[in-house]
Structure 1
Amino acid sequence: MTTVLVTGATGFIGRRLVPALIEAGHTVRAMTRRPQDYSGPGEPVGADVDDPDSLAAALTGVDVAIYLVHSLDDKDFERKDAQAARNFSRAAADAGVRQIVYLGGLGDDDGELSAHLRSRREVEGLLGTDGVPVTVLRAAIVVGHGGISWEITRQLVKNLPAMVVPRWVHTRTQPIGIDDVVRYLVGVVDKEEALDRVLEIGGPEQLTYLEMMQVAAVVSIGKRLPIIEVPVLTPRLSSYWLALVTDVDATTGRNLIDSMSTEVIATDTSIRELVPGEPLAYEECVRRALDERRRSAEDRR
């Protein structure tokens, strides 16, 4: 039986991944900074990637560690994420971990990457610095209830009668549903063929951001939205605009918007050989995200 540590166990992906790993037969440790508040499945363990001394106990006896850490809400996220990856690499090696699985970002290495995507690439390398084999899954936008990128799309469609958009809405991306991300993460755990590999994951469609918003509009409100394109809308201005019409803070919004001028398309489908199965279409992912949001709202009543 494989013992798996999930960092960020209470986050958007982690809280879905932990029960999926348990269902697959693994023993799971749910790593969080506040284990006393953790009410999900698995064994809660307290640790913080920014505190190297806290990681040793959490990683002792762990076979596979899944790294789901980022600091997009911090203006100094590149430095913070790099140091956190160094801390985790050393602690994992000292504990004898035999695989680290990391969810990174798509984007052509030969192209001009945004600070966000550059940071993801740097973390990929740093996690393997001390010799633990790393499996990287690179994804574009993950569609699911509670995901930041999806929430931006949902709230823009919901809150605006028409959208003023910059030119980057014509950039192509390859959205993937949260269910498929979890399925792929579970599928590469402790799999020898996945060690020291970079695998690209994406849904079946390549869409522009504009096409994604229009599909979301039709599914959620039953009609397409009027779109007004403007020639200049800088990332800074876009982030302030997002902060006004959504609940996403300006720092996180700007870090994400910086990446939206970069085409993020999967060019390698070898993940499907390791983890068979057809990924869900974007429209179905949107429906599932909206349904989960409705159920969550009803549960809170």
Structure 2
Amino acid sequence: MDEHKPRVLLTGATGFVGGRLLPNLVSNGFQVRCLVRSASGFAGSLPPEIKAEPVEGDLLKPGTWEASLDGMDVAFYLVHSMGGRNFSEIKSFAERDQKAATHFLKAAEAAGLSRIIYLGGLGELGDSLSEHLASRQEVGRILQSGKVRTTILRAANIIGAGGAPFEMLRYMVERVPVMICPRWVDTPCQPIAISNVVDYLAGCLQQEDTAGLSFDIGGPDIISYRELMLIYARVRGLRRLVVTVPVLTPRLSAYWINLMTPVPAGVIMPLVEGLRNTVVCRENRIRDLVPARLVSMEEAVCTALAETEKGPGRLPSTQSCFRRL
């Protein structure tokens, strides 16, 4: 641990992105404090080599977590409520996200935090954004509206084992030989491997020139969701057919995906509604400030499969996966 480096508060440390960012920060010598719901449970889940200080609290409950900012220099804001466990909880997620962000900014200013780094979503507000993507944009606006210099990274679908976009993709392609999809299956997108997201998050922490700015982040491939599904099928050596129909609405699609996958229903709906929006990087300035080897979607899918421990698509190694290409 390097005492000369900024001290970091990591929110969302138990999540898909935060759980992967934590080992990166620790291995690079950062002193990390993690804001979690259960400090004892979190501490018990950490491998011995990951040294981090757990602090218990809930951003939606003022008075339970503000002390976690004491002595910290930089915070990663990676909390995101999505839509809950079922369809009935969907409508309240945007309100929860904005309330949590407002609480956090106020406390960060009071604590004298120097920087916030936030991971949001791609998409333009003028493009009839889904509620999910519009909420991500609004959270970013809230965090950048105060005195703390906030860096915003905006990503499309993040592909990695355990992430909702990948798990939806995995179960659908594995289980359905002929996939009936709405027209949005041909919407352009620029997905990004989880390893590249971690590269950029950690890189922004170490690159002071990123403070207070917003960046689009994406992988090297601009493809459609149809192409992404066929990439998965090709990596797995599966023959799959994707058929589009004009009458399948996002809500009907979400109900169907809910039947076919273990992804929580309340998470599926916001993701599916967002698929109708084009999510492609408008600029690539981040590549100059934080150089990283961009991972192709074939490699991202293969790596995610190699990391998967249970369920369809299990593979013993990345190397065995690439033999199928």
Q: Same fold (TM over 0.5)?
A: yes
- Is the counterpart of residue 188 in structure 1 residue 192 in structure 2? no
Q: Residue 175 of structure 1: CA displacement?
A: 0.8
Counterpart position of 1:58: 68
Partner of 2:287: 272
Task: State the SS of the aligned residue for 1:53.
Answer: coil
2:152 corresponds in structure 1 to 136
TM value normalised by structure 2: 0.88
Cα distance in 1 for residues equivalent to 2:15 and 2:243: 34
How far did residue 62 of structure 1 move?
0.8
Letter in 2 for 1:72: M
Give the drift of 1:162. 1.4
Distance in 2 of aligned mates of 1:100 and 1:125: 12
Distance 2:239 2:117 in 1: 39
Q: Which moved more, 1:27-36 or 1:248-257?
A: 248-257
Matching of residue 96 in structure 1 with residue 100 in structure 2: no
Does the CA-based 8 Å contact 2:180-2:242 persist in structure 1?
A: yes
Structure 2 counterpart of 1:290: 305
Secondary structure, aligned partner of 2:117? strand
In the alignment, residue 14 of structure 1 is paired with which amino acid?
Answer: G
Task: Identify the residue that residue 228 of structure 1 maps to in structure 2.
Answer: 243
Which residue does the alignment assign to 1:177? Answer: 193
Check conservation: 1:31, 1:45, Cα contact below 8 A. Answer: yes
Match of 1:73 in 2: 83
Alpha-carbon separation, structure 1, partners of 2:310 and 2:260: 24
Q: Which amino acid aligns with 2:54?
A: P
Q: From 216, 219, 229, give the equivalent of 1:200.
A: 216
- Quick check: 2:102–2:143 contact (8 Å CA) kept in 1? yes
Q: Deviations over 1:11-66 (max 9, x none)?
A: 11111100101112211112211111012231111121111212221111111100
Given that residues 306 and 315 in structure 2 are in contact (C-alpha distance below 8 angstroms), is that contact kept between their aligned partners in structure 1? no
Q: Is the 8 A contact 2:204 2:290 kept in 1?
A: yes
Task: Number of aligned residue pairs: give it.
Answer: 298
- The structure 2 residue matched to 1:153, chosen from 169, 188, 193, is 169
TM-score of the superposition, structure 1-length normalised? 0.95
Please tell me whether residue 16 in structure 1 is matched to residue 45 in structure 2.
no
Does the CA contact (< 8 Å) of 1:239 and 1:251 recur in 2? Answer: no
Q: Choose from 235, 239, 264 the match for 1:249.
A: 264
1: CA distance, partners of 2:315 / 2:242: 32
Alpha-carbon separation, structure 2, partners of 1:190 and 1:213? 35
Matches within 5 A, 1:21-32: 21-32=25-36
* Structure 1 residues without counterparts, runs of 5 or longer: none
Cα distance, 1:282 vs structure 2: 0.6
> Over aligned residue pairs, what C-alpha RMSD do you find?
1.7
Residue 133 of structure 2 corresponds to 117
Per the alignment, residue 33 of structure 1 pairs with 37
CA distance, structure 2, for counterparts of residue 114 and residue 298 of structure 1: 35
Percent sequence identity over aligned pairs: 43
Q: Give the Å deviation of 1:105.
A: 0.5
Q: Which 4+ runs in 1 deviate beyond 6 A? A: 295-299
Partner Cα separation in structure 2 for residue 225 and residue 184 of structure 1: 34
Shift of 1:266: 0.6
Deviates more, 1:55-64 or 1:203-212: 55-64
* Deviates most, 145-154 or 243-252: 243-252
Does the CA contact (< 8 Å) of 2:190 and 2:222 recur in 1? Answer: yes
Question: Which deviates more from structure 2 when the two are superposed, residues 127-136 or residues 114-123?
Answer: 127-136
Distance in 1 (CA, whole Å) between partners of 2:132 and 2:7 is 31
Q: Does 1:165 align with 2:181?
A: yes
Q: Secondary structure at the match of 1:189?
A: helix
Aligned mates of 1:164, 1:87 — CA distance in 2: 43
Distance in 1 (CA, whole Å) between partners of 2:257 and 2:238 is: 22
Higher mean alpha-carbon deviation, 190-199 vs 79-88, is at 190-199
